[in-house]
Amino acid sequence: MSRIKDIALASSGEMKIKWVERNMPVLRGIGEDFRRTKPFAGLRVALSVHLEAKTAYLCRVMEMGGAEMYVTGSNPLSTQDDVAAALAAGGMQVFARYGCNMEEYESCLCSVLEAAPNIIIDDGGDLVHLMHTKYTNLIPEVIGGCEETTTGIHRLKAMDRAGELRFPMVMVNEADCKHMFDNRYGTGQSVWDGIMRTTNLIVAGKEVVVCGYGDVGKGCAQSMRGFGARVLVTEIDPICALQAAMEGYEVTTVEDALPLGDIYVTCTGNYHVITGAHMEGMKDEAIVCNIGHFDNEIDMNYLENTPGVSKLNIKPQVDKWTLKSGRSILILAEGRLVNLGCATGHASFVMSNSFTNQTLAQIKLAAEKLENRVYTLPKELDEEVARLHLGRLGAKLTKLTPEQADYIGVKVEGPYKGEMYRY
């Protein structure tokens, strides 16, 4: 039986799902194909992804393909209770509630794994971790899984290197139509959306410190500059740092940015990027938020457990922490993903790219017997996702002649870049 907040919320959630369906045209088309082909007939799928309307539609598409879905969230603050109710009302097994504590969150993860899934769709690696530590007896049922995030892929690659991975995983986040469009363009819009919804403060004219200049950091920096902010970038990687510098951003350290920063956004996927010492040195009422998967990029433990530091909740997902220095900072979404804790995540069309990659990866798992390692989605499938979405934008692709294709050593129909090429 599903465990959700309130089934009476289903009608509101259904409206949200119907709205995003209109704006995920390619995924909608795939769903129609699935009604006929049923590629997942007889398979149980455990999914842990941010449980909002776009994810719900992915679940519906998988169900159209014959999958028996067991659904939970991947973050305590990203579940939309009305969306969870809509899925449950439609007969899906759903275990998720907004604002649950970590014990309840893990219980929900366990509930979907106890269904003995054949395919795992993960976001951050929590399901895979639990399967390898707590539910090893169910591993023979698993034919493989997909990972949606950079953080999760780091965990998977570590398991692969150590020889500990016991079923194949497809790194959906490594697909170009995911990491580039979702992480760069999706994040660029949704981070700003989260900050604006909660603070209603203008970004123009402010100093914004973006920690990390991978795809997510690039998206954040680009959008903030577009809204008139002066953007400072911090980086450990000299190549990423050089990119930032040559795109006109000031590259510095968090320490040197402390007298300047009005808004800080952590985008690294690392640990304690902003420390207690950093927060003590910030300007009064600086805004601090995170877009990485876990809530430890900002040292929330320092705030929660240091004598002399106090918290005042200003409004939902905006907490004013008064520091030992006497100054205050504003933490958004409790240090968790600001775009989902404070808003509704990436735009539907962007997620159509990402979730189309997901469905293709799951077809690969269902159709092929793969070794127990991590895989990248083949380039030709990635290009097909882009091609399908271009058609929805009214764009026209140039076609190679056979002579041109031969000259550059590719097929007329692609793929046009090597597997290692990064856009």
Give the pLDDT band (50/70/90) at residue 277. Answer: very high
Yes or no: say if 179 and 148 are a contact pair by the CB < 8 Å rule: no
Is the predicted pLDDT of residue 347 greater than 80, yes or no?
yes
What's the pLDDT at 306? Answer: 97
Is the predicted pLDDT of residue 327 greater than 90, yes or no?
yes
What's the pLDDT at 392? Answer: 83
What's the pLDDT at 311? Answer: 98
Provide the β-strand partners of residue 346: none
What's the pLDDT at 374? Answer: 94
Give the pLDDT band (50/70/90) at residue 375. Answer: very high
Separation in Å, CA 5 to CA 18, 85, 99, 333, 341: 21, 8, 10, 20, 17
Cite the residue boundaries of each domain of the chain with CATH code 3.40.50.720.
184-341
Yes or no: say if 377 and 174 are a contact pair by the CB < 8 Å rule: yes
- Class of the CATH-defined domain 7-180+346-385: alpha beta
Picking from 226, 215, 153, the residue whose alpha carbon sits closest to that of residue 183 is: 215
Is the predicted pLDDT of residue 7 greater than 80, yes or no?
yes
Q: What is the mean pLDDT of residues 126-141?
A: 97
Using CB atoms within 10 Å of the CB of residue 382, give its burial: 0 to 12 exposed, 13 to 18 middle, 19+ buried: buried
Cite the residue boundaries of each domain of the chain with CATH code 3.40.50.1480.
7-180+346-385
What's the pLDDT at 233? Answer: 98
- Residues of the chain above pLDDT 90, percent: 80
**Per-residue pLDDT tens for 83-121?**
999 999 999 999 999 999 999 999 999 999 999 999 999
Give the pLDDT band (50/70/90) at residue 174. Answer: confident
Is the predicted pLDDT of residue 178 greater than 90, yes or no?
no
**Per-residue pLDDT tens for 219-275?**
999 999 999 999 999 999 999 999 999 999 999 999 999 999 999 999 998 999 999
Is the predicted pLDDT of residue 419 greater than 80, yes or no?
no
What's the pLDDT at 149? Answer: 87
Q: What is the mean pLDDT of residues 278-293?
A: 96
Q: Global pTM?
A: 0.90
3-state helix/strand/coil string of the chain: CCECCCHHHHHHHHHHHHHHHHCCHHHHHHHHHHHHHCCCCCCEEEEECCCCHHHHHHHHHHHHCCCEEEEECCCCCCCCHHHHHHHHHCCCEEECCCCCCHHHHHHHHHHHHCCCCCEEEECCCHHHHHHHHCCHHHHHHCCEEEECCHHHHHHHHHHHHCCCCCCCEEEHHHCHHHHCHHHHHHHHHHHHHHHHHHHCCCCCCCEEEEECCCHHHHHHHHHHHHCCCEEEEECCCHHHHHHHHHCCCEECCHHHHCCCCCEEEECCCCCCCECHHHHHCCCCCEEEEECCCCCCCECHHHHHHCCCCEEEEEECCEEEEECCCCCEEEEEHHHCEHHHHCCCCCCHHHHHHHHHHHHHHHHHHHHCCCCCCEEECCHHHHHHHHHHHHHHCCCCCCCCCHHHHHHHCCCCCCCCCCCCCCC
Q: What is the mean pLDDT of residues 324-346?
A: 94
What's the pLDDT at 204? Answer: 94
Is the predicted pLDDT of residue 381 greater than 90, yes or no?
no
Is the predicted pLDDT of residue 166 greater than 90, yes or no?
yes
Name the average pLDDT for the chain.
94
Greater confidence, 178 or 262? 262
Token reading at 15 = 């409206």
What's the pLDDT at 290? Answer: 97
Fold classification of 184-341 is: Rossmann fold (3.40.50)
What's the pLDDT at 109? Answer: 97
What's the pLDDT at 182? Answer: 85
- Residues of the chain above pLDDT 70, percent: 100
What's the pLDDT at 243? Answer: 97
**Per-residue pLDDT tens for 181-218?**
888 889 989 999 999 999 999 999 999 999 999 999 99
What's the pLDDT at 294? Answer: 80
Task: For residues 147 and 132, give the distance between their C-alpha atoms in angstroms, rounded to a whole number.
Answer: 15
Is the predicted pLDDT of residue 364 greater than 90, yes or no?
no
What's the pLDDT at 349? Answer: 87
What's the pLDDT at 409? Answer: 95
Give the pLDDT band (50/70/90) at residue 126. Answer: very high
Q: What is the mean pLDDT of residues 64-74?
A: 97
